[in-house]
Protein backbone atom coordinates (compact mmCIF):
# COMPACT_ATOMS: atom_id res chain seq x y z
CA UNK A 1 0.00 0.00 0.00
CA UNK A 2 2.78 2.45 0.88
CA UNK A 3 4.54 1.71 -2.41
CA UNK A 4 1.33 2.45 -4.34
CA UNK A 5 0.99 5.86 -2.67
CA UNK A 6 4.66 6.62 -3.31
CA UNK A 7 4.41 5.69 -6.99
CA UNK A 8 1.32 7.82 -7.56
CA UNK A 9 3.06 10.83 -5.97
CA UNK A 10 0.22 11.60 -3.60
CA UNK A 11 0.83 13.56 -0.45
CA UNK A 12 0.32 11.09 2.35
CA UNK A 13 1.33 11.17 5.99
CA UNK A 14 1.53 7.97 7.99
CA UNK A 15 1.23 8.37 11.73
CA UNK A 16 2.59 6.06 14.37
CA UNK A 17 0.74 4.60 17.30
CA UNK A 18 -1.07 7.21 19.38
CA UNK A 19 0.66 7.40 22.76
CA UNK A 20 -0.62 6.81 26.24
CA UNK A 21 1.47 8.25 29.02
CA UNK A 22 0.54 5.52 31.52
CA UNK A 23 1.75 2.44 29.63
CA UNK A 24 4.95 1.90 31.58
CA UNK A 25 8.55 1.46 30.45
CA UNK A 26 8.15 -2.03 28.88
CA UNK A 27 5.23 -1.06 26.64
CA UNK A 28 6.86 2.27 25.84
CA UNK A 29 9.93 0.41 24.56
CA UNK A 30 7.79 -1.92 22.40
CA UNK A 31 5.83 0.95 20.88
CA UNK A 32 9.04 2.84 20.18
CA UNK A 33 10.37 -0.16 18.22
CA UNK A 34 7.12 -0.42 16.23
CA UNK A 35 7.26 3.29 15.39
CA UNK A 36 10.91 3.00 14.30
CA UNK A 37 9.97 0.17 11.91
CA UNK A 38 7.04 2.14 10.48
CA UNK A 39 9.28 5.19 10.09
CA UNK A 40 11.89 3.15 8.21
CA UNK A 41 9.25 1.80 5.81
CA UNK A 42 7.74 5.21 5.12
CA UNK A 43 11.13 6.87 4.58
CA UNK A 44 12.11 4.03 2.24
CA UNK A 45 9.09 4.90 0.11
CA UNK A 46 9.85 8.64 0.27
CA UNK A 47 6.88 9.43 2.50
CA UNK A 48 6.62 11.72 5.54
CA UNK A 49 6.45 10.17 9.02
CA UNK A 50 5.36 11.97 12.19
CA UNK A 51 6.04 10.05 15.39
CA UNK A 52 3.07 10.79 17.65
CA UNK A 53 4.33 8.38 20.30
CA UNK A 54 7.28 10.62 21.18
CA UNK A 55 5.81 13.97 20.18
CA UNK A 56 2.81 13.88 22.51
CA UNK A 57 4.29 11.82 25.33
CA UNK A 58 3.77 13.85 28.50
CA UNK A 59 5.09 11.50 31.20
CA UNK A 60 8.66 12.60 31.89
CA UNK A 61 9.52 9.42 33.78
CA UNK A 62 8.49 7.08 30.96
CA UNK A 63 9.73 9.29 28.12
CA UNK A 64 13.13 10.21 29.52
Alpha carbon distance 31, 20 (integer Å)? 10
Extract the runs of DSSP E, i.e. beta strands, from 1-64: 13-15, 48-50
Pseudo-torsion of CA 32, 37, 39, 44, nearest 10°?
A: 170
The list of the chain residues with pLDDT below 70 reads 1-23, 50-64
Q: Burial level of 45, CB count in 10 A (0-12/13-18/19+)?
A: middle
Alpha carbon distance 33, 31 (integer Å)? 5
pLDDT at 30: 81
Amino acid sequence: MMREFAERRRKVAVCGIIPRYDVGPAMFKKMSVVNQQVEALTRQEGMYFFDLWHHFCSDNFVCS
